[in-house]
Amino acid sequence: MPPKTPQRKSAAYRRQVRIRRRRRITVVIICFLILLVAVIVAVHAIFPAFSAPHTDAASESGEQDIVNAVQEPEQEEVITYEPASISLIAVGDNLIHNTLLRDASNGDGTYDFTSFYEEIKPYVEAADIAFINQESPLGTGEPSAYPCFNTPQACGEALIDAGFDVISHANNHAMDAGSSAVYDTLDFWDSHAEDDVIRIGIARDAEDRAKIRYVERNGMKIGFLAYTYGLNGYSLPEDNPDLVSLIDKDKIATEMAAVRENCDAVVVVMHWGEEYESTQNDEQEELAEFLTEQGAAVIIGGHPHVCQPCGWVESENGNRAFCIYSTGNFISAQDKSATMVEAMLQVTLTRQTDGTIIVEKPGVMPLVCCFNSKWRNYQVLPMDDYTESLANSHALAGRVNMSVSNLRSIAEDAFGEFIIEKTIPITYDTAYAEAHGTASAANTASEDAAA
Residue 150: burial class (beta carbons within 10 Å; 0-12, 13-18, 19+): buried
73-100 in b/e burial notation, b at 16+ Cβ within 10 A? eeeeeeeeeeebbbbbbbbbbbbbbebb
Instruction: Check residue 433 and give its pLDDT.
Output: 74
- Report how far residue 272's alpha carbon sits from residue 57's, in angstroms, rounded to the nearest whole number: 69
Q: Is the dihedral of CA 299, 305, 307, 308 positive or negative?
A: negative
Residue-level pLDDT at 371 = 98
| pTM recorded for the entire structure | 0.81
Q: For residue 8, what pLDDT is reported?
A: 45
Distance between CA atoms of residues 218 and 213, nearest Å: 17
Which residues neighbour 311 within 8 Å (Cβ) at sequence distance 6 or greater?
322, 323, 418
Coil vs helix vs strand at 87: strand
Q: Say if CB 307 and CB 70 are below 8 A apart.
A: no
Contact (Cβ atoms closer than 8 angstroms) between residue 330 and residue 342: yes
Handedness of CA 443, 445, 448, 449 (dihedral sign): negative
- The tens place of each residue's pLDDT in the chain, 451 residues long, gives 444 444 444 545 555 655 666 666 666 677 677 777 666 766 565 555 444 444 444 333 333 333 344 455 566 677 889 999 999 999 999 999 999 999 999 999 999 999 999 999 999 999 999 999 999 999 999 999 999 999 999 999 999 999 999 999 999 999 999 999 999 999 999 999 899 999 999 999 999 999 999 999 999 999 999 999 999 999 999 999 999 999 999 999 999 999 999 999 999 999 999 999 999 999 999 999 999 999 999 999 999 999 999 999 999 999 999 999 999 999 999 999 999 999 999 999 999 999 999 999 999 999 999 999 999 999 999 999 999 999 999 999 999 999 999 999 999 999 999 999 999 999 998 766 777 666 555 544 433 333 3
446 CB contacts (<8 Å, ≥6 apart)? Answer: none
Do residues 300 and 322 make contact, with C-beta atoms less than 8 angstroms apart? no
What is the distance between the alpha carbons of residues 127 and 157, in angstroms, rounded to a whole number?
19
